[in-house]
């Protein structure tokens, strides 16, 4: 079996951001990703611009739904990609603990979109 390479495009992107010392909701720039699942959907690559370079996400099938894949960053447990193998739709969340709670400068975000096979 071969790796599954997909081209993914955000359709929605939102989150919280600190502007001039005030936290508010914000629209985020829509992103594109080229991702690659291994043959059994247990590993995912392609988010080097979001997490650590050359990082592999660990994936599993949650909630007994065979078409759903949940992948979590191995370096950042609060970065999650959830993908439906049938509809090719996804959500991608980046929830940083150094954001709102600690009044930091980083931000948390949530995006959603669709992937297409290469």
Stretch 84-102: mean pLDDT: 87
Give which of 73, 118, 108, 67 is closest to 90, Cα–Cα: 67
Q: How far apart are CA 74 and CA 12, in angstroms?
A: 25
pTM over 0.85: yes
Provide the pLDDT confidence category of residue 84 given band limits of 50, 70 and 90: very high
pLDDT of 67 higher than 70: yes
Place of tokens 């959603």: 112
Quote the CA–CA distance of 38 and 44 in Å, as a whole number: 7
Tokens coding 37:
């699942």
């Amino acid at each position: 079996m071969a790796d599954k390479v997909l081209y993914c495009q955000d359709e929605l992107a939102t989150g919280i951001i600190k502007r001039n010392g005030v936290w508010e909701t914000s629209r985020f720039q829509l992103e594109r990703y080229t991702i690659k699942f291994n043959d059994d959907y247990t590993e995912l690559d392609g988010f080097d611009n979001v997490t650590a370079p050359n990082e592999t996400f660990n994936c599993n099938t949650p909630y007994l739904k065979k078409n759903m894949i949940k992948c979590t960053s191995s370096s950042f447990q609060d970065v999650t990609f959830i993908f439906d193998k049938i509809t090719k739709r996804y959500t991608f969340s980046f929830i940083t603990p150094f954001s709102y709670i600690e009044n930091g400068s980083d931000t948390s975000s949530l995006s959603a979109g669709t992937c297409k096979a290469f």
